[in-house]
A and B are shown apart, each in its own frame.
Chain A
């Protein structure tokens, strides 16, 4: 008995020890998980904070729009990033009577897009440092800069990042506009009719085939002309009753519909339509739309 007694406690002890061990492990795990959770939360917080900070840097890089509205009193810039930081960016500059403005859409959104957009803005500032060249020269030079920065040489496995862009240079004295686009088009509404000038089917960045000079489209402007530049975030948004893309066609129709309204109202209408179309769904990409009335 004594032995039994002696054994039992050992066994029990053994059982007890196992149990205790499990409990200890569990506790340890819980502690670990909690620690990790804290860590993740901390990281998330930090990431959030960094992103917020990145966002403020990105906004600082984007040009101040007050001068833009001074140059074009009847105009709007509709800019709705999907995340904290954006892959779309707008940019403009003025030298004498020449004004250049652009709506660009970098590959990817969020952080990678933001990085690319910051590169783009820096390069554009550099290009415009001496004078405002022709619209296609802007794109040609921007492409060289991106290719050089990303070490793109046309090799098969290298990254193909870059951006799509629509860029206009307006001579305010002569009322002549030059337009150059990398994939993105220009919409011009004159006397109720929408004219589309398509961009070249080449990106700003390495292309599958040899680089060619972008086309410099020259358009004589008239008073009352409406000019729109945009990224494809607006047209690509899923939504509506059948969860489909909004599409460029609808955008064109919407623009024609609201053409007679002031640009400020047009911005509101476009924003409202976008929210309505999106409904509860997520915004799938950054949205950028620039409208100018001459």
Chain B
């Protein structure tokens, strides 16, 4: 996996850098003036890796920092990285499409952070899924409340119907004795009156009977509905309870989290051991409590999610046990796939190891307290270098536990004989007189000159070569820097041998003399196959003029306003950076190129060589081409990238016109890779090839070449350029004669045949499209 690009938001002076591609050949330089934000970029990338940010990185508007990094990944790597679960198909498709994995670390207000997975497309995909889920949940919640409401209503209505039925029954029951009495009276004394009375009562009985039956039927249906609704309502209520539980668990979690962070903050501010001891117990307790709450919250959440999903199905009419089975199955199915968080965590395990190398902590000190090494006290000078030294020498804390100082000294002496560092492990350059330098260390104890530390052990370092033994700080800064850098490389290789590595180096070799700075660059070149380097500099000696595509220019949006945000210009837009920012490049190039007459601000067309320059300038004149354009000859095709760099460095607009031959195609690919991040679309706006013209002389048909360039009557069956090469003719002389003929008006465009004119028009058309 290689680090390919980064994007930083809200980090010190940075608001949003947008995506910035790293150089394809693993060395990327950040150039810019002091305070431009170069170091912030390196620190932000380091923070991305270790998750640590300090208070001062927060912007005044309190917008939270976010750093995204993309790493290249192949199909095979993908298979080996994600083995435990399945990768969602859509996600795999996105990753393979881009060939990259993107991770974003976002910080919370309390400086804790979390990683999220995927670039814009994947994030959009996940947010859509999340959005849909939310909508579904909202809908379910709405339905859930509706059901509960309806159940309540149904209960009320059923009650009313029951009451009515009972009243009807009561009425009926009251009527029955009256009816019996009337029947008796009528039986005793049948007359018209009794007959009428009986008839009336019978009718009433019939009516009440019917009414009662109707009421009972209504009641039955109401009760049935009520039963149905109350079933649903019961599940809805169950779901609401789970959600409440989840909410309670969340509140508890938040409470314990706040308590824990407050306590931690307080704990960090404590000075004396007693105070620390006093609070430590409480801190541990709070921590345990919070961990418990964390577990509870997780459980409550999965319960609530489960209930919500089940209820959603029940409300749609699924049988409750079926719904539970279904949801359980779904959860199991989902669990077989990586979640977004899991993907982020799993990917993070495989990304390169990031290491920030900066002078304060990384340069080997003269002495360091043993305690500081083992407590990894970051505020101590040279802590990283000393740690690295111990790693390289394979020493652990137990080594120093030897009680007898005599034995310990003997052990150290023996070890000292073994620690000689051979720079040639890593780089080819010879640094100083000898590449073999010995580092010695000794264990000493503070004496009474340091009353506060008296008796405490410390390590003292020595750098020794054939001639003398000196403290690191007594050696030249160059030796000290290289030595420390070497220790870092070696320690890193020991600790992270499985991973690729990214070294973030702030102002490497700052204050080294020019020669030593160039050595730094050579060392980078040597290690770039194994380690990606991102370094900041404002030294021209740390820039390779032929490789300006490696540079990102960093400056403030408003020049000289140190409060304005940091902006980054990629190699393609270097020309938009300020003169001050680009001053290292200018220094390297000498005088300002655009002051010369032959290079203009725009419409410069770089061509491979002088003959191409002569022929094309003449031909464009013959054609009567109207737009301004300036052909610039490179001395040969391999120097085209250098010229490109020069023009970029001087912020001059340019196009490149290459021959359509293997060399031209190679340089095309090289420029596309180095200057245009292999983006064919971008490259094709700036770099052109003379389609099917392998060399400028091939622009002429064979006959025109013979008649107007060669002035010789021979049969030519090979291409014109091949003919020149085979017969060892001087291209420059032929070109010069051709120009003379045109200047003397001995040659007009109409004299050329169709084939030549077609070719000329092709080239004119290619450039005309791109020229402004």
- Chain A contacts to B: CB under 8 angstroms: 134, 136-137, 140-141, 143-150, 152-154, 206, 210-213, 216
- Show 5 A/B contacts (Cβ-Cβ < 8 Å), sorted by A: A141-B717, A144-B715, A153-B713, A213-B753, A213-B754
Decide: A153 near B703, CB < 8 A? Known: A137-B755, A213-B755.
Answer: no
Given contacts A137-B755, A149-B715, A154-B713, whether A211 and B701 have CB atoms under 8 Å apart is: no
Nearest CB on A from B243, distance (A): 71
Q: Which of A134, A206, A211 contacts B707 (CB 8 A)?
A: A211
Is B454 part of the contact surface with A, judged by Cβ < 8 Å?
no
CA distance A141 to B716 in the complex (A): 8
User: B702 near A: Cβ within 8 Å?
Assistant: yes
Minimum CB–CB distance from A230 to chain B (whole Å) comes to: 27
Please, which residue of chain B has its CB at the minimum distance from the CB of A216?
B754
Given the interface contacts A213-B701, A213-B754, does A144 sit within 8 Å of B707 by beta carbon?
A: no
Bound CA span A136–B707, Å:
17
**Cβ–Cβ contact B714 & A140, under 8 A:** no
| Bound: A148/B702 CA distance, A | 13
Give the residue of A136, A137, A211 whose beta carbon is less than 8 angstroms from that of B706. A211
Contact (Cβ within 8 A) B716 A148: yes
Q: Which residues of A contact B712 (CB under 8 A)?
A: 153
- Nearest CB in chain A: distance from B691 CB, A: 15
CA distance A212 to B714 in the complex (A): 13
Q: Is the CB of B702 within 8 A of A140?
A: yes
Q: How far is the CB of A6 from chain B (nearest CB, A)?
A: 84
> In the bound complex, what is the Cα–Cα distance between A141 and B718 (angstroms)?
10
Contact with A along B690-707 (1 / 0, CB 8 A): 000000000001111011
- Chain B 708-732 near chain A by CB (<8 Å), digits 1 or 0: 0000111111000000000000000
Measured between C-beta atoms, what is the minimum distance from A43 to chain B in Å? Answer: 36
Q: Quick one: given A147-B715, A210-B713, are A141 and B702 in contact (CB under 8 Å)?
A: yes
Do B713 and A206 touch (CB < 8 A)? yes
Q: Which residues of A contact B715 (CB under 8 A)?
A: 143-150, 152
**Which residues of B are interface residues toward A (Cβ below 8 A)?**
701-704, 706-707, 712-717, 753-755
Judge whether A144 and B713 touch: CB under 8 Å: no
What is the distance, in angstroms, from A28's C-beta to the closest C-beta of chain B?
Answer: 54
Task: Name the residue of chain A whose CB is nearest to the CB of B706.
Answer: A211
Q: How far is the CA of A140 from the CA of B701 in the complex (A)?
A: 9
Which residues of chain B have C-beta atoms less than 8 A from A144's C-beta? 702, 715-717
**Supplied contacts A137-B755, A213-B753, A213-B754, 15 more A-B pairs, CB within 8 Å:** A134-B754, A140-B702, A140-B703, A141-B717, A144-B717, A146-B715, A147-B715, A148-B714, A152-B713, A153-B712, A153-B713, A153-B714, A210-B707, A210-B713, A211-B706
Contact A145 B755 (CB under 8 A): no
Most A CB within 10 A of own CB, among B707, B715, B717: B715
- B713 A213 Cβ-Cβ under 8 A: no
Whole-angstrom CA separation of A213 from B706 in the bound complex:
11
- The 10 A-B residue pairs with the shortest CB-CB distance, nearest first, are A148-B715, A147-B715, A213-B753, A154-B713, A144-B715, A145-B717, A213-B703, A144-B717, A144-B716, A148-B717
Contacts of B753 in A (CB 8 A): 212-213
CB of B463, distance to nearest CB on chain A (Å): 68
Q: Nearest B residue to A152 by beta-carbon distance?
A: B715
- Using CB atoms, name the residue of chain B closest to A205: B715
- What residues of A have a CB within 8 angstroms of the CB of B714 in the complex? 147-148, 153
Taking CB atoms, residues of chain B closer than 8 Å to A210 are 707, 713
Which of chain B's residues have a CB closer than 8 A to the CB of A211?
703, 706-707, 713
A153→B712 CA distance, assembly (Å): 8
Nearest B residue to A143, CB-CB: B715
The complex places the Cα of A265 from the Cα of B717 at a distance, in Å, of 42
Nearest CB of B to A250, in Å: 36
Interchain CA distance A106-B754 in the complex, whole Å: 27
Chain B residue with the shortest CB-CB distance to A127: B717
Report the bound CA distance from A286 to B713 in whole Å: 31
- Give Cα A211 to B702, complex, Å: 10
Q: Which residues of A contact B706 (CB under 8 A)?
A: 211
**In the assembled complex, how far is the CB of residue B729 from the closest CB belonging to chain A, in whole angstroms?**
15
Nearest to B755 among chain A residues (CB) is A137
Contacts of B717 on A, CB cut-off 8 Å?
141, 144-145, 148
- Docked Cα-Cα span, A143 to B713, in Å, equals 11
For the complex, what is the distance from the CA of A290 to the CA of B704, rounded to whole Å? 33
In this complex, which of A134, A144, A150, A210 has the most chain B Cβ atoms within 10 angstroms of its Cβ?
A144
CB proximity of A275 to chain B, nearest CB, Å? 40
B698 → A minimal CB distance (Å) = 14
Least CB separation from A150: chain B residue: B715
Closest Cβ–Cβ distance, residue A99 to chain B (whole Å): 21
- Residues of chain A within 8 A (CB-CB) of B754 are 134, 136, 213, 216
Cα distance A211–B708 in the bound complex, in angstroms: 12
Residues of A within 8 Å of B755, CB to CB, are 137, 213
Least CB separation from B758: chain A residue: A134
Q: Please indicate the chain A residues that have their CB under 8 angstroms from the CB of B707 in the complex.
A: 210-211
**Which residues of the other chain, B, contact A216 by a CB distance below 8 angstroms?**
754
- Report the bound CA distance from A146 to B714 in whole Å: 10
| A149 to B704 CA separation, bound complex (whole angstroms) | 20
Which residues of B lie under 8 Å from residue A212 when comparing CB positions? 703, 753
Closest residue of chain B to A210 (Cβ to Cβ) is B707
B713 to chain A: which residues have CB within 8 Å? 147, 152-154, 206, 210-211
Determine the distance from Cα of A136 to Cα of B753 in the docked complex, in whole angstroms: 11
* Chain B minimum-CB-distance residue to A126: B717
Could you tell me the distance in whole angstroms from the C-beta of A178 to the nearest C-beta in chain B? 11
CA distance A146 to B716 in the complex (A): 9
Contacts of B704 in A (CB 8 A): 213
Q: Which residues of B contact A136 (CB under 8 A)?
A: 754
Residue of A nearest to B714 (CB): A153
Most buried by A among B701, B712, B713: B713
Alpha-carbon separation in the docked complex, A48 to B286 (Å): 116
Min CB gap B747→A, angstroms:
14
Report Cα–Cα, A47/B727, bound state, in Å.
41
- Chain B residues lying within 8 Å of A154, measured Cβ to Cβ, are 713
Contacts of B703 in A (CB 8 A): 140, 211-213
Chain B: which residue is nearest A145 at the CB level? Answer: B717
Q: Whole-angstrom distance between the alpha carbons of A210 and B704 in the complex?
A: 11
Q: Which of the listed residues A140, A141, A154, A213 has the most CB atoms from chain B within 10 Å of its own CB?
A: A213
Bound CA span A140–B756, Å: 13
What residues of B have a CB within 8 angstroms of the CB of A213 in the complex? 701, 703-704, 753-755
Closest to B713 in A: A154
Residue of A nearest to B716 (CB): A144
**B56: min CB distance to chain A, Å:** 68
Docked Cα-Cα span, A153 to B716, in Å, equals: 11
How near does chain A come to B751, taking the closest CB pair, in angstroms?
A: 10
Q: Closest CB of chain A to B26's CB: distance in Å?
A: 41
| Residues in B whose Cβ lies below 8 Å from that of A137 | 755
In the complex, which of the residues B714, B717, B753 has the most CB atoms of chain A within 10 Å of its own CB atom?
B717
Per the bound structure, the CA–CA distance linking A146 and B715 in Å amounts to 7
| Cβ–Cβ < 8 Å partners of B716 in chain A | 144, 148
Determine the distance from Cα of A89 to Cα of B244 in the docked complex, in whole angstroms: 99
* Nearest CB of chain B from residue A150's CB, rounded to whole Å: 8
A140 neighbours in B (Cβ, 8 Å): 701-703
Name the B residues within 8 Å of A146 (CB-CB): 715
Q: How far is the CB of A200 from chain B (nearest CB, A)?
A: 12
Determine the distance from Cα of A106 to Cα of B702 in the docked complex, in whole angstroms: 23
CB distance from A54 to the nearest CB of B (A): 25
Distance in angstroms between the alpha carbons of A216 and B703 in the assembled complex: 15
Closest CB in chain B relative to A214 CB, distance in Å: 9
A140 to B, closest residue via Cβ = B703
Least CB distance from A75 to B in Å reads 29
Q: How far is the CA of A148 from the CA of B715 in the complex (A)?
A: 4
Distance A195 CA – B754 CA, assembled complex (angstroms): 25
Return A235 CB to nearest CB of chain B, in Å. Answer: 30
In whole angstroms, what is the CA distance A216 to B757 when docked?
14
Distance A154 CA – B706 CA, assembled complex (angstroms): 13
When chains A and B are docked, how far (Å) is the Cα of A134 from the Cα of B704?
16
Bound complex: CA of A152 vs CA of B712, how far in Å? 11
Cα–Cα distance between A54 and B76 once the two chains are bound (Å): 63
Cα–Cα distance between A150 and B714 once the two chains are bound (Å): 10
